[in-house]
Structure 1
Amino acid sequence: MTSRSIPIAPTRRTVVKAAAVTAVIAPALLGTAATAATAHAAPAAPVFLHGVASGDPLPDGVLLWTRVTPVPEAVPGSGLGPDVPVGWEVAEDRAFTRPVASGTTTATAAADHTVKADVRGLRPATSYWFRFTAGSAVSPAARTRTAPAADSAAPGVRFGVVSCANWESGHFSAYRHLAGRADLDAVLHLGDYVYEYGSGVYPDAKYTVRRHEPRHEIVSLADYRLRHGTYKTDPDLQALHAAHPFVAIWDDHEFANDAWPGGAENHTPGTEGDWAARVAAAKQAYFEWMPVRASTEGTVFRRLRFGKLADLHLLDLRSFRSAPAKTGSGTVDDPERTVTGRAQLDWLKSGLAASDASWQLVGTSVMISPVAFGALPAHLLAPLAELLGLPKEGLAVNVDQWDGYTDDRRELLAHLTSRAIRNTVFLTGDIHMAWANDVPVKAATYPLSESAATEFVVTSVTSDNLDDMLRVAPGTLSAVASGAIRTANRHVHWVDMDHHGYGVLDVTAERSQMDYYTVSDKADPAATTSWTRSYRTLSGTQRVERVYQPVH
């Protein structure tokens, strides 16, 4: 794929300026008391304190997002502040001398003063610049990009791929490095964009790099709004949103750990209210604060197309799943239990069968590949179980993943093989580790049996993995643990349990390749990044192979 030379990334000066602004206005996000103490430092006119973003690119359009602070007391979740007219404009150049679209909307307290503009009439496979205005305030200019025409033979598409960014666990340097790339069509965020925990809970207070706001666990609409608002003061996250359009799905921490429709591991009805009310609040805040189209409200499963090269099928694996098997609700292979829900699984199967794209990319928040963890050394089983939120004894499979809902997986893989659907690649987050897997129809007899698909799992941006939990140097565990897992799971080509970072997926007609990058130190706001490994699946093979250099 030819690299683009468009100067899309924010300059270091821009990032430093954003950090300075954040330092001034962050106290205004901390609550009523802090607001009263610092109101004199905040301007009385509307300002854009949370950056700008775009998302869900189409061949002819893209969704634009921002949040306006109309008056100092109108902090996220406060419900305060007047309605504010907001203008938006799109241009072909950063100086906005060649405008192509513009319009107005209104920021209201009912939507936490967030606004969206679903812009259409744009050209396919084209980079644009956009910005917002409110009164005399002008937002930062940001870059976005439309998808290739639906019937075009796109030569390639390239995504940044991220997951699991816990504010308290570290700085978002991975985001900064992705923002600095000039070659991405979009960033795919596979869930856990925010975390619900109270401060000092995950990780423990002595390991906390910076503190969440609000300080308590978030349960109300105001809480979820303030948590989203806090994350969007991060200069690296703002830089990434300003550089590339996002395609986002949620996992559990946008609600609460190990969420399902009936509750969550991290929800106590007696003290934390009604679960349905908490989910409704979390979803409302998510759709207010994320550049995701309103047509998907209530769920995030949807489909985006990138020419005839790739269809991207995005799943919601929290809103329809059955109770976790660990609660005694049934065995993992009970055919009555589901992770997708019947309607979503039928939608996915029909979309896969009907697609004429060269590649079927499936965004899934939890791992679909079967994995038996019982082969791990005993001293690693307990911390791994804690990491996965599972009982510390008898760990064999992670029932929060597709391993806990094997009938859905069996049906989906049978559909891929019986319909001869080739080149399906699952893109996954959640587990705070990097993996490169074949997805076997029968794991017990693999590699003699068939592989139905492949899977690339990206590690976390900051959320703790095994080296963090055991307080050992990165790289200490992977050599031992990876060997044990690969011996027991022949379809697993690689697993890294130690590092943090991101992936870059490069897709051409001939292959899909994931380049894995790691950051030097998640606690260092100036952390560097380096390429670690690359794996690809060649067209028609349904198997992963190692590549010894990144695409770019």
Structure 2
Amino acid sequence: MTGYPTRRKFLAASGLAAGLAFSGALPGIGTSNASTVEVDRLRDHPFRLGIASGDPLPDSVVIWTRLAPRPLDPFGGVNERPVAVVWQVAEDERFRRVVRSGVEIARREFSHSVHVDVRGLRPWRHYYYRFIVGGHISPVGRTRTAPAPRQALSGMTFAFASCQAWWEGYYTAFRDMAVQEHDVVFHLGDYIYEYGVGADSGVRQQAVPVEFTRETMTLDEYRGRYALYKTDPDLQAAHAVAPWIVTVDDHEVENNWAGPISENNAPREEFLVRMANAFRAWYEHTPVRLAQAPNGPSVQLYRRFQYGDLARFNLLDTRQYRDDQAGGDGEKPPNPGSLDPKRSITGAAQEKWLLDGMAEKSARWEVLAHQTAIAQLDVKAGPEVVVPMDTWDGYVASRKRILGGARERGVRNLVSIAGDLHRSVASELREDYAASSPVVGTEFVGTSVTSGRDGMDHDQVGRTILAENPHVKFHNFQRGYVRCEVNASQWVADYRVADRVTVADGTVTSRSKLTVEDGVPAIQVR
């Protein structure tokens, strides 16, 4: 979208924005009494950031929108008054069979965003939803609840994606995703980037206010970045066709942050304010429940989603609780820091939560949905091993405890899905690569949606990864996403890649389909 009015100057971090980010007072999710709020008859269409649904459960799903008639203005161009927003959920897209409805109050202190936790729905059913403000009706979204916890499920389809630097390409992957059939979509991080978009907005050549050329620090700057990304029609379309389950990686806050430690070792108090700003803006723009609303500089991100007896997805957080990257980050040989048995990428509480859950063996496929690669990735040709310190290679003890724990608990099919690398890498998982221990699971790392621009089938790094890591079975360096079809007998990962993202009319095709058979932790390349 183009032609937005000139943006007014953002609020400073030390003023209202910082106070809002640290505020513990958050609005409830659900219906509200509209008698105290007059409907604000906004002159301009307020749904320019689209609609979304997320975090599906067997009897509920969250639906979301944000009122923003002028998306790149502070507070989206909406005045101070609360706005009554009517919401409807129906069994048909023409809303002849409305099954749930109500009114939610959109408030200025939360950028007039709306989260409704719609309860009382039926398991494993498609529903349609929309929002109404005055005479304005939002686009219609389609969502789907999860199956009942022990429901026998014959199969499911889902997609996962990550890393979508707005200025580096068009969202060709999301345009393709929107026309596919998916029961749910996972976004595994880097939904936005904190970097400035550049004076020319990169390949998009779209005029933006000068504030968008700077790195995000304040609450309003993070809000503005989400608004800019969400104006994209292909991203809106992908949100509108299926529920999304969303976590964060590093760029939602700052590159390669680790707990309260910033990339450049900013003062702790200063970085905590930045984290609070980032998490507040993430919540305001994401279809999640009140349980995921931030408390200042912390947010509960790890959670589970059960899909009948077929699959259970453990959504992880490998940013908030990790120890600082070993060896000063970067790519290094294994070192005392990366091999330290006390260090963790998940933190002790999350690790226990994950291992305790694995012991339940509640589904045929046990899935780790998270930020970055578990598998060892030696990136140096020759006998010396050099690995990235920001992935699980920098936290070898975590890898051993989680993968060894899965083996000890008799997990039938362990699958990891991740992003972050800006390249597609499919690997077989071992708890100890130095000792060539048995394969205990499989991993599918998806490439970026746009980050890295067009790419190519293989680059030199990819060729080295294939040569030096025999457990890596597939590599590609183009942009795209992964579409998965899962049933009781097999898991099929379809790596869908774009020929180009630096032009608006790129196309997406299937680069390779990889299969894992039930009970056999090995990747077969079709």
For 2:465, what is the secondary structure of its paired residue? helix
1:380 aligned partner: none
CA distance in 1 between counterparts of 2:265 and 2:195 reads 11
Residues 409-428 of structure 1 mapped to structure 2, 5 A cutoff = 409-428=399-418
**2:287 matched to 1:291?**
yes
Contact 2:70 2:77 in 1 (8 A): no
1:230 aligned partner: 228
Residues 352-367 of structure 1 mapped to structure 2, 5 A cutoff = 352-367=358-373
Contact 2:161 2:448 in 1 (8 A): yes
2:505 maps to a residue whose letter is A
**Structure 2 vs 1, CA of residues 395 and 460 (structure 1 numbering), >3 Å: closer, same or farther?**
farther
1:286 maps to a residue whose letter is W
1:146 maps to a residue whose letter is T
2:446 aligned partner: 458
Structure 1 residue ranges without an equivalent (≥5): 1-21, 35-41, 378-393, 469-473, 548-552
2:119 aligned partner: 120
1:221 aligned partner: 219
TM-superposed CA distance for 1:77, in Å, is 6.9
For 1:214, what is the secondary structure of its paired residue? helix
CA distance in 2 between counterparts of 1:521 and 1:350 reads 43
CA distance in 2 between counterparts of 1:250 and 1:71 reads 26
**Structure 2 vs 1, CA of residues 205 and 141 (structure 1 numbering), >3 Å: closer, same or farther?**
closer
For 1:443, what is the secondary structure of its paired residue? coil
CA distance in 2 between counterparts of 1:72 and 1:318 reads 29
CA distance in 2 between counterparts of 1:230 and 1:506 reads 32
**2:245 matched to 1:244?**
no
1:32 aligned partner: 8
Residues 331-350 of structure 1 mapped to structure 2, 5 A cutoff = 331-350=337-356
**Deviations 1:60-105 (CA, angstroms, capped at 9, x unpaired):** 1110000113789964477953210011000111110111100111
Contact 1:482 1:494 in 2 (8 A): no
Contact 2:187 2:246 in 1 (8 A): yes
CA distance in 2 between counterparts of 1:75 and 1:206 reads 23
2:327 aligned partner: 326
CA distance in 1 between counterparts of 2:43 and 2:213 reads 27
TM-superposed CA distance for 1:264, in Å, is 2.6
For 1:23, what is the secondary structure of its paired residue? coil
2:393 aligned partner: 403
1:59 maps to a residue whose letter is P
CA distance in 2 between counterparts of 1:33 and 1:142 reads 33
TM-superposed CA distance for 1:247, in Å, is 0.8
**2:464 matched to 1:484?**
yes
CA distance in 1 between counterparts of 2:219 and 2:463 reads 45
**Structure 2 vs 1, CA of residues 287 and 334 (structure 1 numbering), >3 Å: closer, same or farther?**
same
CA distance in 1 between counterparts of 2:265 and 2:54 reads 31
1:17 aligned partner: none
2:162 maps to a residue whose letter is S
Counting aligned pairs with the same residue, the percent is 36
Contact 1:77 1:221 in 2 (8 A): no
**Structure 2 vs 1, CA of residues 209 and 537 (structure 1 numbering), >3 Å: closer, same or farther?**
farther
2:451 maps to a residue whose letter is S
TM-superposed CA distance for 1:44, in Å, is 2.8
TM-superposed CA distance for 1:319, in Å, is 0.5
TM-superposed CA distance for 1:506, in Å, is 1.1
Structure 2 residue ranges without an equivalent (≥5): 11-40, 294-298, 330-334
For 1:274, what is the secondary structure of its paired residue? helix
Match of 1:194 among 192, 195, 215: 192
CA distance in 2 between counterparts of 1:194 and 1:60 reads 30
1:438 aligned partner: 428
Match of 2:503 among 518, 524, 530: 524
Contact 2:481 2:495 in 1 (8 A): yes
TM-superposed CA distance for 1:266, in Å, is 5.7
CA distance in 2 between counterparts of 1:192 and 1:300 reads 14
When the two chains are superposed, the root-mean-square deviation of aligned CA atoms in Å is: 2.6
Contact 2:338 2:394 in 1 (8 A): yes
Match of 1:374 among 377, 380, 392: 380
1:137 aligned partner: 136
Contact 1:48 1:68 in 2 (8 A): yes
1:293 maps to a residue whose letter is R
CA distance in 2 between counterparts of 1:266 and 1:462 reads 25
**Structure 2 vs 1, CA of residues 432 and 45 (structure 1 numbering), >3 Å: closer, same or farther?**
closer
Residues 26-65 of structure 1 mapped to structure 2, 5 A cutoff = 27-28=4-5, 31-32=7-8, 44=43, 47-65=46-64
Higher helix share: 1
1:351 aligned partner: 357
TM-superposed CA distance for 1:145, in Å, is 0.8
CA distance in 2 between counterparts of 1:491 and 1:301 reads 28
TM-superposed CA distance for 1:475, in Å, is 2.7
CA distance in 1 between counterparts of 2:382 and 2:130 reads 51
TM-superposed CA distance for 1:535, in Å, is 0.8
